[in-house]
Amino acid sequence: MGFRSIFDVPDVRAEFEKAGINTHFIPFIWKYVIKNPNCEWDEIPDLPSAAYSLLRSKFKTFTSSVDSVINSNDGVTTKLLVKLQNGAFVEAVIMRYDTRLGKYGGKPRPGGPRSTLCISSQVGCKMGCKFCATGSMGFKNNLSSGEIVEQLVHASCLSQIRNVVFMGMGEPLNNYSAVVEAVRAMSGAPFQLSPRRITVSTVGIIHAINKLHKDLPGLNLAVSLHAPVQDVRCQIMPAARAFPLAKLMDALQVYQKNSKQKIFIEYIMLDGVNDEEHHAHQLGKLLETFDVVVNLIPFNPIGSLSQFRTSSEEKVLTFQKILRGVNNIRTTVRKQMGQDISGACGQLVVNSLDEKPKNSGVTDIEDLVSRR
């Protein structure tokens, strides 16, 4: 086994306890590494001598590195290509917002600039969603909790991160333990991100949803629903066959009852597939007993990988109007960001473990928690 990430919480804690070193040093080490990313272990002050020996023999400050950074023309989106220890690549996307630019109740919004980081949890994905380029890769490997947290550390060198969304490459709940440990690390010292500032998105892994509220109380859950009926969902999301819509909705009812939290519903708009008025009425009926926010996502074309077309703006607005007016469901339309750097929703793709992503790769990720 190679060197492990200092941000791999279970490994670090286990090794410290085994060596009889107090684990309260771990957040202190993290804080120093975050502020001094190129440091050597011996430069960290005031650690027990046993800690220095342990760190040198088993851990690295970073097991991943930033291979390239690409900024959008408007400067609001930054894409990081991150190289992992095994040579694989994942992408993370920083999206910058300014709440003062919008209005709420006819008045300027309070607040100011903030950044949301979209991170990956796997290389590739097993789910095979037909509108998502990552699914075309197949599944390569899970990320460790340290590799997930390191994306936040890398991004923090470029921007002050306020929110984190697990909407990059991979299905987070198929890498459950690593994602849980990563979220716990992010919400503790020294990161101190409130769980309400962290969102995990899933296609609907029912057995994982059933335990999520206990393992990560306060976390935001986003569900990639994308269709209001089972047959359409299976048509565009093959994994839906294993997670029938009726059973998924039952699991979400239980989750909401136990967590007492709003659920975010992601719905990609595919012309002629799931964007007709009757689909909007079906979706409204499906969600009428839930406390949800529906986020309508204009489809980002993926070249030869996709047989789908983007819904017209008129269709998207009509869909939104039905959900709002008929069903009184809060419905937003995702703002497209970073398309000029392939930094928009559903397009993250890496061609192989030995090949860097080309510029046909990332998706725009909405700041789902920005208005909370």
Closest CA to 275 of 318, 234, 240: 318
Closest CA to 146 of 112, 121, 169, 163: 121
Asked about 132 being catalytic, the answer comes back as no
Of these residues, 15, 91, 147, 150, which one is catalytic? 91
Of these residues, 125, 266, 345, 366, which one is catalytic? 345
Closest CA to 348 of 140, 198, 190, 147: 140
Which residues on neighbouring strands pair with residue 266, listed in sequence order? 224, 295
Asked about 355 being catalytic, the answer comes back as no
Closest CA to 355 of 118, 83, 70: 83
3-state secondary structure of 135: helix
Category of 78 on φ-ψ map: left (φ > 0), alpha (ψ -120 to 50) or beta:
beta
Q: How many CA atoms lie within 13 A of 15 on its CB side?
A: 22
Phi and psi dihedrals of 270, rounded to 5? -115, 120
Which residues on neighbouring strands pair with residue 194, listed in sequence order? none
Identify the burial level of 82 via C-beta atoms within 10 angstroms of its C-beta, where 0-12 means exposed, 13-18 middle and 19 or more buried. buried
| CA–CA separation, 265 and 194 (whole Å) | 21
Could you give the residue numbers annotated as active site? Answer: 91, 345
